[in-house]
Structure 1
Amino acid sequence: MLNLVMKWNKCFISSFVCKVSKFYIFQKVLFLLRYLFIVIDCCFLFLLQTSHWSNC
Protein backbone atom coordinates (compact mmCIF):
# COMPACT_ATOMS: atom_id res chain seq x y z
CA MET A 1 0.00 0.00 0.00
CA LEU A 2 2.74 2.43 1.02
CA ASN A 3 4.69 1.55 -2.10
CA LEU A 4 1.70 2.45 -4.26
CA VAL A 5 1.29 5.77 -2.48
CA MET A 6 4.99 6.49 -2.94
CA LYS A 7 4.77 5.66 -6.63
CA TRP A 8 1.68 7.80 -7.07
CA ASN A 9 3.32 10.64 -5.16
CA LYS A 10 6.42 10.42 -7.30
CA CYS A 11 4.32 10.43 -10.43
CA PHE A 12 2.29 13.39 -9.25
CA ILE A 13 5.38 15.38 -8.26
CA SER A 14 7.15 14.66 -11.54
CA SER A 15 4.10 15.68 -13.58
CA PHE A 16 3.76 18.82 -11.47
CA VAL A 17 7.43 19.66 -11.99
CA CYS A 18 7.02 18.99 -15.69
CA LYS A 19 4.05 21.36 -15.90
CA VAL A 20 5.83 24.05 -13.92
CA SER A 21 8.99 23.79 -16.00
CA LYS A 22 6.95 23.89 -19.22
CA PHE A 23 5.16 26.98 -17.98
CA TYR A 24 8.46 28.52 -16.92
CA ILE A 25 10.04 27.82 -20.31
CA PHE A 26 6.97 29.23 -22.03
CA GLN A 27 7.26 32.39 -19.94
CA LYS A 28 10.95 32.69 -20.79
CA VAL A 29 10.27 32.25 -24.51
CA LEU A 30 7.52 34.86 -24.39
CA PHE A 31 9.79 37.27 -22.57
CA LEU A 32 12.58 36.72 -25.10
CA LEU A 33 10.19 37.18 -28.00
CA ARG A 34 8.87 40.39 -26.52
CA TYR A 35 12.42 41.64 -26.00
CA LEU A 36 13.32 40.67 -29.55
CA PHE A 37 10.32 42.51 -30.93
CA ILE A 38 11.24 45.64 -28.98
CA VAL A 39 14.80 45.48 -30.32
CA ILE A 40 13.60 44.88 -33.88
CA ASP A 41 11.09 47.69 -33.54
CA CYS A 42 13.77 50.11 -32.32
CA CYS A 43 16.17 49.09 -35.07
CA PHE A 44 13.44 49.41 -37.66
CA LEU A 45 12.53 52.89 -36.45
CA PHE A 46 16.16 53.87 -36.41
CA LEU A 47 16.65 52.60 -39.96
CA LEU A 48 13.53 54.40 -41.09
CA GLN A 49 14.76 57.64 -39.57
CA THR A 50 18.26 57.32 -41.01
CA SER A 51 16.96 56.47 -44.46
CA HIS A 52 14.58 59.39 -44.15
CA TRP A 53 17.45 61.71 -43.29
CA SER A 54 19.59 60.40 -46.10
CA ASN A 55 16.71 60.97 -48.52
CA CYS A 56 16.62 64.58 -47.39
Structure 2
Amino acid sequence: MKKLFAFTAMALAAAGAHAQDFPGGKPITIVVPFAAGGPTDRVARDLAEAMQKPLG
Protein backbone atom coordinates (compact mmCIF):
# COMPACT_ATOMS: atom_id res chain seq x y z
CA MET A 1 0.00 0.00 0.00
CA LYS A 2 2.87 2.37 0.81
CA LYS A 3 4.48 1.68 -2.57
CA LEU A 4 1.22 2.42 -4.37
CA PHE A 5 0.82 5.69 -2.48
CA ALA A 6 4.43 6.69 -3.21
CA PHE A 7 4.06 5.86 -6.90
CA THR A 8 0.80 7.82 -7.14
CA ALA A 9 2.34 10.83 -5.40
CA MET A 10 5.34 10.81 -7.75
CA ALA A 11 3.12 10.48 -10.82
CA LEU A 12 0.98 13.42 -9.74
CA ALA A 13 4.03 15.55 -8.95
CA ALA A 14 5.55 14.79 -12.36
CA ALA A 15 2.30 15.69 -14.13
CA GLY A 16 2.22 19.08 -12.41
CA ALA A 17 5.81 19.83 -13.37
CA HIS A 18 5.14 18.84 -16.96
CA ALA A 19 2.22 21.26 -17.25
CA GLN A 20 4.28 24.33 -16.36
CA ASP A 21 5.60 26.67 -19.02
CA PHE A 22 9.37 26.85 -19.40
CA PRO A 23 10.83 29.32 -18.40
CA GLY A 24 7.58 31.04 -17.56
CA GLY A 25 8.18 34.02 -19.83
CA LYS A 26 11.05 35.22 -17.66
CA PRO A 27 14.61 35.73 -18.90
CA ILE A 28 17.21 33.07 -18.12
CA THR A 29 20.32 34.34 -16.35
CA ILE A 30 23.66 32.69 -17.06
CA VAL A 31 26.24 33.37 -14.35
CA VAL A 32 29.88 33.12 -15.45
CA PRO A 33 32.16 33.24 -12.38
CA PHE A 34 35.18 34.47 -14.33
CA ALA A 35 36.33 37.81 -15.73
CA ALA A 36 34.59 39.32 -18.74
CA GLY A 37 36.43 38.84 -22.01
CA GLY A 38 37.97 35.50 -21.08
CA PRO A 39 37.39 32.21 -22.89
CA THR A 40 34.67 31.09 -20.47
CA ASP A 41 32.82 34.38 -20.98
CA ARG A 42 33.06 33.99 -24.77
CA VAL A 43 31.68 30.44 -24.64
CA ALA A 44 28.81 31.56 -22.40
CA ARG A 45 27.96 34.43 -24.75
CA ASP A 46 28.03 32.13 -27.78
CA LEU A 47 25.89 29.58 -25.95
CA ALA A 48 23.36 32.24 -24.92
CA GLU A 49 23.15 33.49 -28.50
CA ALA A 50 22.64 29.95 -29.82
CA MET A 51 19.94 29.21 -27.22
CA GLN A 52 18.06 32.46 -27.87
CA LYS A 53 16.28 31.26 -31.02
CA PRO A 54 15.12 27.78 -29.85
CA LEU A 55 13.94 29.04 -26.45
CA GLY A 56 12.28 32.18 -27.77
TM-score w.r.t. length of structure 1: 0.39
Q: State which structure, 1 or 2, has the greater radius of gyration over its C-alpha atoms.
A: 1
> Between Structure 1 and Structure 2, which shows a larger proportion of helix residues?
1
Q: Which of 1 and 2 has higher RCO (CA within 8 Å, sep 6+)?
A: 2
